[in-house]
Structure 1
């Protein structure tokens, strides 16, 4: 079976994915971020046009079910900008949802995730499918909601082959996530993307996690997460020197309206990529922004 990247416009040969922002948000809504919603289709289109003009060819949106992911508009935005978009199913932490709505979802989570991966996103035109499952850990642990969602994510992964992307609160609980998803539920580590690890600058831990075979997303040069910038290159250097360059991904992770244009996804290409080339040579930015995402987000999709 041939591996493909599942975009909102259909399945894509990984070789065609191109330069990729591996973790970002065009749309996002949460009660934890009042007044900072990403809900403007025109602004999203502007972001994508700027990203494309800088050489970007793909963007992976980690906004999961129930958080205003803009599913009805993603296909049109992708066509208009000429940028491949990968959408997410899954659920975030419970604090991002109405409790009553969550209670209604719990019994059918695995079926919901599987349907959004194989048939289409709820509320989107037919055929606008998710290409990954987004889940989230808790701060230094995994609570009941998290374990329930991850069990459903693992079931949907086994039904479809989809990769699983994980939000780690302040970079914590990644070993717990791997123990649960891989140890208990049998998800291969290479199908897991561990996000936000740069928010906990523990290089020994990062090397341990990389040794599992999982991908590590070093995301967040947006204004909302700028505190991680000063150790990003030390983290990349340490992991590359340890032989894990093929598992590293970069993303902007813009989560608020105020951070949307400062600096936005183009920063990966106009600032970080040139500096990576100067520091480590031209092969590394190509690997982190093009070669690695093509493998991390490709799957041998099971038939619906």
Structure 2
């Protein structure tokens, strides 16, 4: 059976993702970052071309519903640069949205996610290939529980993978208890983001042992344990047998951060020296192809 990833240009065989930035943003808008919006298609094209010129072939954009996804521009950028782009549905933490918007969409959240995965985002016909949700600091608040339940329901109906923002890298095991324990999502369909920001090796190993994918993202942020701890963390997880569960992303959220080319220009040589070519190929190519592939939708009643 050929596994497939849903890009903004349509479904492709998972192995065609190639070298993948597993978590990034071409466009992003939130009231929590006023004046720091990512909304420049020209700059996005420049980053994608730089990424492609270094061998990058795909970018998974985690920008969810209501945060400035610009699906039409994603299509144009993918066509002009040759980089496959995966768009997201889903919902971030409540603080990123006005209360009146949440009041309108929360009652039909699962249906909204399914519609954006199967029909398109905002009537554009550009389909999402990922469900993005978010935990809270060291746990799961009521909003996160609601959005994760909707994400699980949409996953069971469509097979779409679920990506989770872990607040400051915390709460990974609580998320897995809810999504995979209570809500019946296969851990292999869950990507946990920001684990490098709270570099607890015990939690990282437990999450990998459960079967989830671990995304190390957000390089060159001075207030997070990112670049300088990254080779050590990945090597420790690989030595523990979890090399096939590791992903790498840039998570560009504001203008002025290094962006997608940085992953390949600066981090790739460093990681190749620390990890070896085979493991780095898994991190950049093999693991993303598995992590972002659609699973078979569940038949029959859900848990």
Q: Which runs of 5+ in 2 are unaligned?
A: 299-303
Shift in Å, 1:234: 1.1
- Cα distance between partner residues in 2 of 1:182 and 1:209: 11
**8 Å contact kept, 1:4–1:301:** no
* 1:234 to 1:81, Cα distance in 2 relative to 1, 3 A: same
The 5 A counterparts of 1:1-304 are 2-122=2-122, 125-126=124-125, 128-223=126-221, 227-259=225-257, 263-300=258-295, 302=297
What displacement does 1:35 show?
Answer: 0.5
For residue 96 of structure 1, report the CA deviation from its aligned partner: 0.4
Cα distance in 1 for residues equivalent to 2:224 and 2:174: 26
| Distance of 1:135 and 1:172 partners within structure 2 | 14
Q: Cα deviations across residues 112-171 of structure 1 (Å, max 9, x unaligned)? A: 000101110115x32x10001000000011111111100000000000000000000011
Residues 91-112 of structure 1, C-alpha deviations (whole Å, 9 max, x = no match): 0000000011011001100000
Normalising by structure 1, we get a TM-score of: 0.95
After superposition, the CA RMSD in angstroms is: 1.4
Deviates more, 1:294-303 or 1:284-293: 294-303
- Secondary structure of 1:151's match? helix
CA distance in 1, matches of 2:127, 2:231: 35
Deviations 1:15-47 (A, max 9, x none): 111100000000000000001000111111111
- Which has the larger displacement, 201-210 or 149-158? 201-210
CA distance in 1, matches of 2:274, 2:295: 35
Partner of residue 301, structure 2: none
**In structure 1, C-alpha distance between the alignment counterparts of 2:177 and 2:202, rounded to whole Å:** 18
CA contact (8 A) 1:222 1:252 kept: no
Aligned residues: 298
Distance in structure 1 (CA, Å) of the matches to 2:59 and 2:17: 9
* Segment of structure 1 superposing worse, 102-111 or 274-283: 274-283
Distance 1:224 1:107, change over 3 A: farther
Q: After alignment, is 84-93 or 269-278 more displaced?
A: 269-278
